[in-house]
Structure 1
Amino acid sequence: MASTDSLQLPIVPLGNKPITRHQGMVRSRTSPMVSLSLNYDTLQEIVQLKQMKESGAVLPDLLRERFFSTYSKLFRTEDEGQRSEDVNNISSTERGVVRTTRSADPLTSKTMMPLAQTNNRLVQLAKPKQNHQKSFSPQERGDSIVPHLGDVSYHMAQVHDVRTSATFQQKFNMALKDLRQLLQILPFERTTEENSRIAEALVDMKSGVLKEIPQNRLSKRQLLRRVACIATLDTYKEEDMTVFGNQGLFMVLRGSLSPLTLPSIRRQRDKEGGEDTLFRQPTPLLKDPREFTIGVGECFGTLYSLPDRSVNSRVLSAMTCQPGVELLKISSSAFENLIKKMNAADHMEKLSLLRKCEQYSQWPQMSLEEIAHVLEWVTFPKDEMLVEENRVAPFIGIVASGTCKAYRTIDTMHKLITGKRERRVKRMLIGELGEGLSMGEISVIEDMNSTCSIHTATPVLMAIITPRKLRDLNPVTVSLIQQSNKPTFGHVDSEWLKDEYIRSESEREWRQFKRQIVTSSIREAQIHPGTGKWTTPKSQTEEARIIGKQRENNGDN
């Protein structure tokens, strides 16, 4: 054993390297200076267990428990806390020995390095074997092992490779960035694809521009693509600059503005409803413009310039709150020119449709112009009833595209399997309406009930005249419409229905009789289509391929 002021280590074989005796002191937590000694037998046993572990041998539980019980007594004079804390304290104490002896005696510091390395290796040996099948609490398992443990939709999305859609804020930011880049290109230099991207960006942002665009027979996206062709980017580099809202409709892309008047936007419904009294003259200005703010994505201004107001009027205007404000601008004058061009093209299309219609093809140009002004485009889906039998037609319609079918209800006697007859009401097809055909003129003008019901067989685009618009026409034109038209399918009478019903029923019975005869003949003759002589004749290419294979087989034999 060593003396009270030294630490004695015996020579113990560790692999092929001997351990020499060194001297040093260990600082303890309980006393300033305590001398510890290592037992030769205990250290020899520990080294043997470590060599067994390094060689890959499995340590028995008895040896492992004995190691844990003896190792904690090598360096500590008292048992404190858990075994894991003792091992950590030993490691920190050993590092303290090296630092203390190095500052006191450089020679002793060098001689104590093998002791610290040996004890660090013993510390690794003392660590318990890791158990990879760690037990977790439900919260730990949900947070660490399996994310979204209780979320079934998350795991179903992983199975089916379903991508999570972006949130509205993410779409808004991406669309805003794309919009700012595209608007830097001048309108006459943009391609059709770039204008379509501008329109899609406005849709993704759910911009207020969508609400201000008037309704048209074109879809919202088609109309928005045309409006995107005249959209420009305005940049205001200084603060407190005035943006005149009577020049057009503006949407904020960067920065913010303060409105000078309220309301700051003139909506489409205000123009149609005659509520322009909101923008009275002289323009009442706000006392504190900073009280209200127009942020990114919000709109101000108008698509239709206010009458009797200059473009530099302060009505609907706003003031920039900081430098570098960017605005999307749709000029009122450019928008009005666009609407005029679209209306002119729409008017020419209505005139062309009227000339296709047989009843109006010989009309004078002035009367056609008058009717074209009151026509409205309406799209109907498939299988929708336009006119109900024995009711007044709701409008006069001319089919521009698609097909409609006319039906008439009739009373028939139906023969049952038992031989009895019963009365039934059937719907009978009496005709179709295609492109360029009209309906409902006499029913609307003379307030007569329709003799048939009309349904859409496909999606239908139709130009219609409502009874309210019909009253706006010149009486001469209305009289001309009445004289040029006849009731829709007015030629259908009871005799025609009877003959047509007998013909259709005879054809149906004949088809049913032929099907029964053919089926019974095939069944009695035991004919199996697709086999034997009832197979489909082979083409010349197939016959040549079969002959070639036969020759190859004969050659092999």
Structure 2
Amino acid sequence: MAGFCLKATRMLTGVRRVNYDKLDALLNITGLQGRDHLYAIDEAHEKFMAIYPTIFVKEKVVLPGIPEKRTTGVHSCYITDSKTREDFDSHNVKFYMDQVKGPQKLHSGSPEYIGKLQDLVKILKKIPIMRTQKEHESVYKMMKLISGISEQLSDAEMRELSFTVVTEYWKKGSPVDGSMGFYAVLKGSIRPQTKYYKKVVGGHFISATSSSTSIVIPTKLSWVLPPQPLLGVGSCFGTLVPLPGRLKYKTLIISTEEDCDFLKISSIDYLRIKAELAKREQLAKEELIHGSPYYKDWPMVFIFQLTVHLKWKKFPKGYVFMKGGEISEYIGFIKSGHCNAYRVIPALVKLPLGKMIKQMRHVLIGQLNPKESFGEMSILLQIPSMYTLKAATTVELGIIEASVILDLDPVIKMLFLQTVKPSFENISHDDLKLAYIKREIEKEWKQKKDTILNEALFFNGINPGFGKWVHEKPNLDKSQKKHSHGVAGRSMQKKTVIL
């Protein structure tokens, strides 16, 4: 019995939820069977049996709790850092939300946000030409997180500017003029020294005080500004568009309250990149319209009048651009993706019980590919479309609204009517019937063939995809593939010799 106790001691010392005081009392019982005692005393045995069940602490059973009432939206179930054993045993869904939610967006002032800004300072200390592609990508991503930058710049502008931005270091108490660049505070704090400290793209100035415009208090000696608030990490000041001569000096001045690191976007770089992007976009619009077969012979003077009104738009798969029997709302020039055109015809449909009913069915009549267009004739002649156009893939279009087309010069309208032809105009009603019948025959034959094949496999005891009928393609390395191809080639040569 003592040997059993020692063995139990070794087994139980690493187990949780054990009352070690009771275990010690159990081991100190005298009169149990062991090396020195061949027989156990009845009193010691009864004492052992009474103490033994008490050495295990029974854990309290926690039943599933009633979930807390949500407040606003799905994200009201916030995960706290303090999670107890009872909380997890309660099967409360909110403690498992972090396993399915994506990474939370960084917010200004959080330790992660400040840490990333410090990493950005290290990257920006390198001159742009010495940065790696990965570092340029990191700069671009951080510019998207700074609200003062992302709210004014497009995604393309931020990506281009990420290759040119630099960092500037200013000591405590230095005045900084923001009239020729836009700055973001990466380290330290600043205090505005003028009425305004920032000018956004669009023209209006931003004041540092709580109200939209600061109140200037005149005195006998000078103009005194109200106290300006302190701006910290993540704040922005300056302007992307250079100020005119009369406002260039002493308009956007700040003072550093401590040693500061700034991200600087030069106004000259911004204007240059903005002009380059506008030029690229204009060229893309001209190539898209001029590349269409209906517009390849148009003079560039008229192409320019269309590109002014063309806007880019992206549509998901399955989006309906134009419905049959309705007038198109815009002219669409396909930049990327494919569109399927359908016509609706009445057809007899066989029900499972053999009854035939008449229903309307969509028949595929053609496809529109990149650099093709649609909607011109429907808008100019104000006639309903003869077909339904649906996106077969994700489609990016250049669109011109119908109201713009109807207000164009009469010469351009005449040019439209002379060059543009209706799409799928040569498809007759009989062709649609034949196409529908052919599709239904192929569909019926495929179903019949699959049924016969499945019955034959089932009759022979073959169950594809299960048991020994699972056939996985082996993942071979390049060397193994080369070796297998060489063996196959040699075997073919041997067979050829035998023949």
Structure 2 length normalisation: TM-score? 0.65
Deviation at 1:466, TM superposition (A): 1.9
2:315 alignment partner AA? F
Is residue 104 of structure 2 the alignment partner of residue 171 of structure 1?
A: no
User: 1:202 is aligned with what amino acid?
Assistant: M
Q: 2:401 — aligned with what?
A: 466
Is 1:405 aligned to residue 345 of structure 2?
no
Q: Within the alignment, does 1:148 sit opposite 2:89 as a pair?
A: no
Is the contact between residue 252 and residue 297 of structure 1 (CA under 8 Å) also seen in structure 2? yes
Checking the alignment, whether the CA contact within 8 Å between 1:440 and 1:488 is kept in structure 2 is: no
Contact conserved, 1:260 with 1:314, CA < 8 A, in 2?
no
The change in CA–CA distance for 1:301 and 1:511 in structure 2 (over 3 A counts) is same
Q: How much does 1:252 deviate?
A: 1.4
The DSSP-based 3-state class of the residue aligned with 2:344 is: strand
1:58 Cα deviation after fit: 3.5
Q: Is residue 425 from structure 1 mapped to residue 395 from structure 2 by the alignment?
A: no
* 2:237 aligned residue (300, 305, 308): 300
Alignment of structure 1 residues 258-407 onto 2, 5 Å? 258-262=191-195, 264-268=197-201, 287-288=224-225, 290-306=227-243, 308-309=244-245, 312-315=248-251, 317-407=252-342
Aligned-pair CA distance for 1:155:
12
In the TM superposition, residue 338 of structure 1 has moved relative to its aligned partner by 0.2
- Give 1:201-216 correspondences, 5 Å limit: 201-203=142-144, 205-214=145-154
Residue 239 of structure 1 contacts residue 320 of structure 1 at CA under 8 Å; is this kept in 2? yes
Ranges in structure 2 where 5+ consecutive residues have no aligned partner: 1-26, 32-53, 62-81, 205-211, 465-470, 472-484, 492-499
TM-superposition CA deviations, 1:121-162 (whole Å, max 9, x none): xxxxxxxxxx98789999xxxxxxx96123327998799899
Change (3 A) 1:529 1:364: same
Which range moved further: 500-509 or 292-301?
500-509
Report the residue type matching 1:234 in the other structure.
Answer: E
**Aligned partners of 1:363, 1:345: CA distance in 2, in Å?**
21
Whether 1:182 aligns to 2:123 is yes
Query: In the alignment, which residue of structure 1 is the partner of 2:132?
Result: 191
Contact conserved, 2:171 with 2:256, CA < 8 A, in 1? Answer: no
Structure with the greater alpha carbon radius of gyration: 1
Inter-partner Cα distance in structure 1 for 2:329 and 2:223: 50
Question: CA separation in 2, counterparts of 1:224 and 1:458?
Answer: 28
User: How big is each residue's C-alpha offset from its partner over 1:356-406, in whole Å with a ceiling of 9 and x where there is no partner?
Assistant: 311111222332333233322211111111112222212111111111111
Task: State whether residues 175 and 202 of structure 1, in contact with CA within 8 Å, keep that contact through their aligned partners in structure 2.
Answer: no
In structure 2, do the counterparts of structure 1 residues 500 and 249 end up closer, same or farther at CA, with 3 Å as the change threshold? same
CA contact (8 A) 2:241 2:271 kept: yes
Q: Deviations over 1:232-270 (max 9, x none)?
A: 2222225151423x3222211222223345554333455
String of CA shifts for 1:330-371, please: whole Å, max 9, x gaps.
122210100111121222222222333111112223323332
SS in 2 for 1:198: helix
Q: Which amino acid aligns with 2:234?
A: G
**Residue identity in the other structure for 2:374:** M
Give the Cα–Cα distance (whole angstroms) in 2 for the partners of residues 396 and 166 of structure 1: 39
2:197 touches 2:254 (CA, 8 Å); kept in 1?
A: no
Q: Is the 8 A contact 2:185 2:236 kept in 1?
A: yes
Residues 363 and 435 of structure 2 are in contact (CA less than 8 Å); yes or no, is this contact kept in structure 1?
no
CA drift at 1:172? 0.5
Task: Please report how far the alpha carbon of residue 229 of structure 1 lies from its aligned counterpart in structure 2 after TM superposition.
Answer: 1.6
- The percentage of aligned residue pairs carrying the same residue is 24
C-alpha separation in 2, matches of 1:504 and 1:192: 51
Which one of 159, 181, 184 corresponds to residue 248 of structure 1? Answer: 181
Task: State the Cα distance separating 1:300 from its structure 2 match.
Answer: 2.3
- CA–CA separation in structure 1 for the residues paired with 2:416 and 2:151: 38
Q: Hey, what's the Cα distance between the residues in 2 that align with 1:209 and 1:540?
A: 59
Q: Distance in 2 between matches of 1:503 and 1:163?
A: 48
The answer to whether residue 167 in structure 2 is matched with residue 233 in structure 1 is: yes
Distance in 1 of aligned mates of 2:126 and 2:28 = 75
Q: Note the residue ranges of structure 1 that are not aligned, 5 or more in a row.
A: 1-56, 62-130, 139-145, 215-219, 272-277, 531-535, 546-557
Alignment partners' CA distance in 2, 1:370 and 1:158 = 53
Q: 1:478 deviation in Å?
A: 3.4
C-alpha distance in 2 between matches for 1:266 and 1:393: 42
Q: How many Å separate the matches in 2 of 1:160 and 1:387?
A: 42
Distance 1:195 1:524, change over 3 A: closer
Amino acid at match of 1:254: K
Q: Is the 8 A contact 1:183 1:233 kept in 2?
A: yes
- 2:334, 2:398 within 8 Å by CA — same for their partners in 1? yes
C-alpha spacing 1:311/1:291, structure 2 compared with 1 (3 Å): closer
**CA distance change for structure 1 residues 193 and 524 in 2, over 3 Å: closer, same or farther?**
closer
SS of the residue 1:229 aligns to: coil
> Which structure carries more helix by proportion?
1
| TM-score (normalizing by structure 1) | 0.59
Name the aligned partner's letter for residue 148 of structure 1.
Answer: T
Report the CA distance between 1:513 and its aligned residue: 5.3
Change (3 A) 1:359 1:135: closer
Higher RCO (CA-CA < 8 Å; seq separation 6+): 2
The AA in structure 2 aligned to 1:456 is A
Aligned mates of 1:311, 1:195 — CA distance in 2: 34
Q: Please state whether the residue corresponding to 1:408 is helix, strand or coil.
A: strand
Q: Read off the aligned partner of 1:231 and give its amino acid letter.
A: V
Provide the secondary structure at the position in 2 that maps to 1:150.
Answer: helix
Measured in 2, the distance between the counterparts of 1:375 and 1:523 equals 58
- The SS at the match of 1:423 is strand
Whether contact under 8 Å (2:195, 2:225) holds in the other structure is: no
- Counterpart secondary structure, 1:357: coil
Q: CA deviation at 1:437?
A: 1.1
Quick one: distance in 1 between partners of 2:84 and 2:314? Answer: 47
Write the letter of the residue equivalent to 2:166.
T
Question: Could you give the per-residue CA deviations for residues 481-524 of structure 1, whole angstroms, max 9, x where no partner exists?
Answer: 2321123333334333233323333443454555566677x489
Contact 1:261 1:286 in 2 (8 A): no
1:211: how far off?
A: 0.5
Residue identity in the other structure for 2:86: G
| Secondary structure of 1:454's aligned partner | strand
- CA distance in 2 between partners of 1:505 and 1:171 (Å): 60
Question: What is the CA–CA distance in structure 1 between the aligned matches of 2:131 and 2:457, rounded to whole Å?
Answer: 70
Alignment of 1:492-507 (within 5 A): 492-507=427-442
Decide which of 439, 444, 464 is 2:379's aligned counterpart: 444
C-alpha spacing 1:59/1:155, structure 2 compared with 1 (3 Å): farther
Structure 2: distance between partners of 1:432 and 1:332: 47
Moved more, 507-516 or 334-343: 507-516
Alpha-carbon distance in 1 for matches of 2:158, 2:236: 16
For 1:68, the equivalent position in structure 2 comes to none
1:197-229 Cα offsets, whole Å, 9 max, x none, are: 1122233x4432110114xxxxx3x54221212
